[in-house]
Structure 1
Amino acid sequence: MITLQRRQLVGHDILLARHGNHICSMRVDRSSGRVVALLDDGTVDSAPNLIAPGLELPATVGSVLREDWKILAASGAVAAGMCALMVTAAVALGSMTDPTTIEMLSAYTIY
């Protein structure tokens, strides 16, 4: 079940416990799975971002978009194509000037 809530970054808590108010800035290094902190004396410290490597974290909106972008793009393209097809059909049917054809199409739903 997708909860789509913000993930709690364990590395932030570890670094705050280690250094407290001496942290100038923090950033998440997603490639290595760590949180990196710049301290006020110019040194850098990092902490792992996971409690356990095999732990399944809840999905967020960003993680779903990163994992499923191909499916979302394909379904968006199909929806845009169907919309264009329907608009083209509506314009083509609206431009018919033969009254008998229009009457036949409107009476077709009776049967």
Structure 2
Amino acid sequence: MKRLFFQLLLVSDLNVKDKLFKSAIAIFIRLTYFVSDIAKEKAPQLAANFDKNDLKSVETVFKSGLPTPDEYAREKVKALASNFDHSELKHVEPQVKTNVAVIEEQ
């Protein structure tokens, strides 16, 4: 991220002679450094105060929203039934009938 801001500053030096634009980029870079420094200081405090019990409750709520294996199987059967090709059944049926006729003749 820092590299991107330095590239912006270099581009502004080469292409744009506007001092206002250069100062805006410089302020933006300083603010970014300031925010990243605050984040580096706050991260250990937030990690130390993190409550693992909250994570377990969120996981339980998430799992309760998932379908049960029976619900999943029902949905899967519905999807398979809706995609069933009846033309395949018609091609199989005459073959079965001819085999039955051969067995009856024997």
Is the structural similarity TM-score above 0.5?
A: no
Q: Which has the larger radius of gyration?
A: 2
Higher fraction of strand: 1
Normalised by the length of structure 1, the TM-score is 0.30
RCO higher in structure (CA 8 A, sep ≥6) = 1
Higher fraction of helix: 2
Normalised by the length of structure 2, the TM-score is 0.31
